[in-house]
Every structure is written in C-alpha cells, then in structure tokens.
Chain A
C-alpha cells in the first residue's frame, strides 16, 4: 500500500484498538500496542517505511525524555547512597549475567551479547511506579528510594547503549562537549522561555524549543554513532526540576507523545517479533527471564539487607527491580535496526522484556506485598470511621 493516508489510518487504527483494549483490561497501552504489533506483523505482514520509522524513533526519544523528566531531584538527593548503590548493582548484575550466558552458552557474538545484557538490565520505572501507587507506597521513604534506584538503573542502561556501540573519535568529542554545554544551560533556557513568553501559549514555544533540543542532540548522537535516547534521557533529567513545577507542560508533551508518536514506536517494536522463531526459543526465553530475575536478586537483595530494609519489603523491592519494558524494547530495537542482532534474537529479547514486565510484578504482589500497604486506609476516611466507631 503506497497511499500515505491509508497507511497512516491502518497504524492509527491499531493504536485506537490498543487504547480500547487497554482501557477495558486496565493494562498499559504500551504493552497492548506491542502485542497488536506482533499480530499485525505476523498475521497481516504490515511493514514500516521511512516516515513511520522517524515517528517511531522520535517516539522512543520523547518517551525516554519524559522518563528522565519524571524523576524527583529532591527524592534522588535524599536517598542518594541507597538508590545509587542499589541502582548501579541492579544494572551491572543482570547485564553481566545475561551477557555471560548468551555469549558462552548460546553462541551469540560479543556484540549481540552486549545488546542482550543491556536490554535485560533495565528496570521499568513506570511499572514500579504504578505498583507503588496501587499499594499506597509511592509517597513512603521505601517507595521513593525504590523509584530513585530505578532511575539510576535505567541511566546505566541508556549510558551503556550510548557508549558501547559509539565510535570514539573527534565526532564523539564534539557530541559530548556540545551536549554537556547544552544540558548545563537547558534548565535555565527552558525556565527563561516559560517566564518570558508566558505559560500555555497557543503557539507552544516551550514545547517546540524542547523538541528542537531533542532533534539537534539526537542528530549529534547519530553522527557520533551513539544512540539518540542517551541525550534525550539526560535532557529529561536536567529539566526534571522545571517539569516538577509545570505540570501543564508535562501533560502537553505526554499527549503529543501518546497520541502521535509512541503508538508508532510500540507497534513497530511488536512488528519485528517473529512468532515462528518464538517456539524453538521458548527454553532460552525462560532461562533468560530466570537469569534476569536471579541476577537482580543476587545484586539487590544483599544491599537491601545491608540498608536495613525489612524482610518482606526486601523481597518486594528485589522483585520490582526485576521488571522491565520501555528501555528493554528500545535496546533490542537498537540492536535489530543496526543489524547487530537477528530477528530471531530480537524476538527472544522482546519476549523476555514483556514477560519481565508481568511476572515479577505478579510475584511481588502475590507473595511479598508489605502488610502496611495492604492495610493502609485513606487518612480522612479512617478518622471518620474512628469517630463513628466511638459514637
């Protein structure tokens, strides 16, 4: 099909159906888009083209930017020691574990093993955050520490993706220097634009400015053979303080991302999953999921113990740090698009990533839910109920 409108309507149709299913099931639209992408690719042979690839790439970049921008800098500072230690180990342990397994036991090349290690080293901040909110832990010190550790973990993933496959030459130096200068001034530039031009202008100068920065830094990263998600995540991190005070800006950028960009990214991520390649690799998928969870356990559990986190919360933290979704698919897709891994290997990695979003969450909720969270009532209603009980 060459009619651009029909192609766009087919993709948006899938995205629309994904939204409906997501609302009905109460499951993230990202996950449904990936699964519908799998069906579209395998059953209907839907393919990507240049403009879809661009929208998908920008979608991944914007998603990464938003993920970085959602960190609470104060919370990170308050739990710096614990979150830094747990986050770094939570990245390094599965990275080395998975890398070693696929390199020595499955015959993947070193470059392919690097992609596998990076893709399965992630922790899904979004999955963890949703679980913490649902269980009333998001505002507790434990919840804030876990979230901060997840951000550190994902920073490790993004850094590895941007560094391991880059060319270290003059272009890389140029990229690093320009990026460092721009990131240094980005918060004050963004704040300045908002203050000077005023908030919520119809012409949206602050959104266009941030897109300009993301496009430019993405261009520099690509030129240096690095990955555009690295500057996007760092840009998100440095403007997180600005975003904390301007929720309207966050909502607008999220609307743009979720309506027009991320559906293309997630559907595309599912499109390349080959169902025929999945059945013979079922054992490898299971083993890799086990390795990811086991290495996260080995890395995170002793540290949680060392930081005095109680037993049940310790297991809960460990399980949540084993989740993954967005950065895992970004890493696997990077490997596929740069011809580092094959479609069969991509299928294995994305399947493990999807399973890692679901399995550890279910185990954590079923077996290791901290008691205090289950019993925590709404403060106002608890007071009212106490009053009624005394009457």
Chain B
C-alpha cells in the first residue's frame, strides 16, 4: 500500500513506539524503512563553535540512534536507512517528506517533553497540519 515509508526517530519513548510500528508496517509489504533524525541547532549563537559543539553532540547521538534503528529493523527483516537533517524538527520533517517523496511518515505523538507539547503544540501536531503525505501518529 505504501511504497516509501519514513519514520521520525529522536530516541524518545514516543519515537521508539513509532519506530516499532513503522517497522511492522514496512515488513508487511517488505519495504525499506527510511529513518530520519532531525538535528536542531541553537539559533542566534554567541560564537561559531557553539554551533559546532552542538553538531558534534548531535552526530554522536545520531550514530547511536542509527545503530539502534538498524538493529530493530533486523528483527523485522526490514532494511533501515537512516538519514539526518538539520533545522527545526517540524519544518525539517515537512521538507523531508516532500523532497524524498515519502508517502507515509510514522512518528510519535510526544517527544522529549510532554509539558512543552501541551503548551506549544507537539511536533506531530505541526507535521500533520503541513505534511504533503499521510502521517501515522503513534500514541
């Protein structure tokens, strides 16, 4: 049914559940799964190295998450290809699904902070509103 499936994965509990669901969906039609990680850099920085340090930190996290996603994929017999994007998470995901012609994006409902999501809206809320593809929000 879906040929190009992607999953937003940031290591939070919600995104782990989303990864599990995405792998299950991908395994039904024996599709590959694109796992995307968004690196949010600090804005309006004081020195350039502030950005570099955050990037190095995010790269380390990405390497760990990439490995975790690939290992999880093996359990379902699904090939996982991990990608990293830079920017505001919702904006980057919306750009990503459009650019990569994704037809299903799977993502968690809440990320690292429920409190923040309650007041400011979750990334999932924003992606559902603006994405050009189907979005499966896993609760």
A385 to B81, CA, bound (A): 9
Cβ-neighbour of A125 out of B40, B43, B48 (below 8 A) = B48
A326 to B49, CA, bound (A): 14
B86 pairs with A126, CB closer than 8 A: no
A66 pairs with B41, CB closer than 8 A: no
Whether A9 is near chain B, meaning CB under 8 Å from some CB there, is no
Cβ-neighbour of A27 out of B42, B51, B87, B100 (below 8 A) = B42
Whether A127 is near chain B, meaning CB under 8 Å from some CB there, is yes
Cβ-neighbour of A134 out of B50, B87, B99 (below 8 A) = B87
Given known contacts A67-B48, A126-B51, is B42 in contact with A26 (CB within 8 Å)? yes
A130 pairs with B47, CB closer than 8 A: no
B46 pairs with A385, CB closer than 8 A: no
B32 pairs with A388, CB closer than 8 A: yes
A26 pairs with B43, CB closer than 8 A: yes
Given the complex, which residues of B lie within 8 Å of A133, measured CB to CB?
41, 51, 55, 86
Given the complex, which residues of A lie within 8 Å of B100, measured CB to CB?
377, 385
Most chain B beta carbons < 10 A, residue from A70, A124, A374, A385: A385
Residue-wise, chain A 243-271 has the 8 Å CB interface mask toward B (1 for contact) of 00000001100100010001000100000
A70 to B95, CA, bound (A): 31
B99 pairs with A126, CB closer than 8 A: no
A130 pairs with B51, CB closer than 8 A: yes
Whether A30 is near chain B, meaning CB under 8 Å from some CB there, is yes
Q: How many residue pairs at the A-B interface have CB separations less than 8 Å?
A: 102
| Cβ-closest chain B residue relative to A138 | B51
Whether A169 is near chain B, meaning CB under 8 Å from some CB there, is no
B47 pairs with A254, CB closer than 8 A: yes
Given known contacts A133-B51, A377-B99, A388-B32, is B41 in contact with A30 (CB within 8 Å)? no
Cβ-neighbour of A381 out of B49, B83, B88 (below 8 A) = B83
Given known contacts A378-B84, A388-B32, is B49 in contact with A28 (CB within 8 Å)? no
Most chain A beta carbons < 10 A, residue from B45, B85, B100: B45
Given known contacts A375-B99, A381-B81, A384-B81, is B45 in contact with A130 (CB within 8 Å)? yes
Q: In whole Å, how far is A136's beta carbon from the nearest beta carbon of chain B?
A: 7
A28 pairs with B50, CB closer than 8 A: yes
Number of residues on chain A facing chain B (CB within 8 A):
40
A375 to B50, CA, bound (A): 25
A258 to B82, CA, bound (A): 33
| Cβ-closest chain B residue relative to A147 | B48
Residue-wise, chain A 61-85 has the 8 Å CB interface mask toward B (1 for contact) of 0010011001000000000000000
A361 to B88, CA, bound (A): 14
Tell me the A361-385 residues at the B interface (CB within 8 Å): 361, 374-375, 377-378, 381, 384-385
Given the complex, which residues of A lie within 8 Å of B46, measured CB to CB?
28-31, 63, 126, 262, 266, 325-326
A374 to B34, CA, bound (A): 19
Q: In whole Å, how far is A178's beta carbon from the nearest beta carbon of chain B?
A: 27
Given the complex, which residues of B lie within 8 Å of A374, measured CB to CB?
95
Given the complex, which residues of A lie within 8 Å of B118, measured CB to CB?
none
Given known contacts A381-B81, A388-B32, is B45 in contact with A127 (CB within 8 Å)? yes
Whether A17 is near chain B, meaning CB under 8 Å from some CB there, is no
Can you spell out 23 A-B residue pairs with CB atoms less than 8 angstroms apart?
A24-B116, A28-B46, A29-B42, A29-B46, A66-B49, A67-B48, A125-B47, A125-B48, A126-B45, A127-B43, A129-B45, A130-B41, A133-B55, A133-B86, A326-B46, A377-B83, A377-B99, A378-B85, A381-B34, A381-B83, A385-B100, A388-B32, A388-B81
Which 6 residue pairs spanning A and B have beta carbons closest together?
A: A30-B46, A129-B48, A126-B45, A28-B45, A381-B83, A357-B44
Q: Which residues of A contact B (CB under 8 A)?
A: 22, 24, 26-31, 63, 66-67, 70, 124-127, 129-130, 133-134, 136, 250-251, 254, 258, 262, 266, 325-326, 357-358, 361, 374-375, 377-378, 381, 384-385, 388
Apart from A251-B53, A377-B83, what are 17 other A-B pairs with CB-CB below 8 Å? A27-B42, A28-B42, A28-B45, A28-B50, A30-B44, A63-B46, A63-B47, A130-B41, A130-B50, A134-B86, A134-B87, A258-B50, A266-B46, A377-B99, A377-B100, A378-B83, A381-B82
